Amino acid sequence: MNKLMTVLALALAAASLTAQAADEKKPTAQQAKMTQCNKEAGDRKGDERKAFMKTCLSSKKTSQQAKMTQCNKDAGDRKGDERKKFMSECLKG
């Protein structure tokens, strides 16, 4: 009976730890962006920092789909390897 109680207690403890780990959440996209902007802000202070953070947090990155559309337009009549190389370079930028 004691062994059963010990095993049951250990199982409950393990379940509790698993539940706590599940509660820890990954940062949201906005939180990740805030972290990145803070790093980029560096030693800026006061109004300069506020202006930088406002710009950094409000800027939108070009989506991959939008980038692909623009690169396809820019590629024009290129064909084959020339087009592949151009698209590769364009999508990296």
Residue range 28-56, pLDDT digits in tens: 878 888 888 888 888 889 999 998 888 88
pLDDT of residue 91: 84
| DSSP assignment string, the chain | -HHHHHHHHHHHHHHHHHHHHHH--PPPHHHHHHHHHHHHHTT--HHHHHHHHHHHHH--PPPHHHHHHHHHHHHTT--HHHHHHHHHHHHH-
pLDDT of residue 47: 93
Cβ neighbors of 87 (< 8 A, separation 6 or more) are 71, 72, 75
**Full-prediction pTM beyond 0.75?**
no
28 backbone dihedrals φ, ψ, rounded to 5°: -70, 170
